[in-house]
Structure 1
Amino acid sequence: MAGNLTPSDKLAANMKRLSALYPQELCFREVQARKDHIDQFGNSIARGDIYYCYEEGYQFENYGKLSIKSAELLTEILIDRNPSLREATDRINEEREAKLRESMRAFMEQ
């Protein structure tokens, strides 16, 4: 049976915050499961569910999986209950976005 779990807006925002703690090329990304999986914490990911994938190095085969359930628990502990970390990761994301805008502006002016 295919799943249909998708992240809430709050979870998507918190995963973006969590990704700020990683190099940009190794950040978390949403993936739709093409088959059933078990995530890093032993929770099921059904075919069709959205889950979070993260790199564990620079090799394509090395990546971990977080189900929606695991991602919600992890971000509740690390982000929701820690205003300092939430503010710091928001600041990192703002800086990254500002650099991207500046790069795009410079490219368009060429």
Structure 2
Amino acid sequence: MSMLRKLIGPKSKYDKSIPYTYEARAQIIEGLDKYNYYLSDTICGLIEYLEKNGIQPDEVVIYEVYQDKEKEIQREFYTTEKGGWLYRPEICQSFEQHYKGHIHKGECSFADRERKGIGP
């Protein structure tokens, strides 16, 4: 990665047709508007982080965060029929239609991003 790219970040972060980042919200106490927030630059990175930290799909709501809006992702895009997490490459295939033109077999517009996650 060049010095300039390190300073300005991944090129794909400037593409307004795909999310800037992904955010999962897990309600801390049922009935209260208090959440733990988890973030990653990629959906696959976020799911790997959530799974590593023992967080199940039914415990979170995941959002695509664009530069000017956020949008809830339908659960069926990132879960199996039994309600478990989808992992790479299956999750890539799931999002192929959702992000038309950005994810192809063996290629992904998100490839220049870090896949690590962060959270509380």
| TM beyond 0.5 | no
Instruction: Name which structure has the greater RCO, CA cutoff 8 Å, separation 6+.
Output: 2
Normalised by the size of structure 1, how large is the TM-score? 0.25
Normalised by the size of structure 2, how large is the TM-score? 0.24
Which structure's residues are more often helix, by fraction? Answer: 1
Which structure's residues are more often strand, by fraction? Answer: 2
Higher-Rg structure is 1
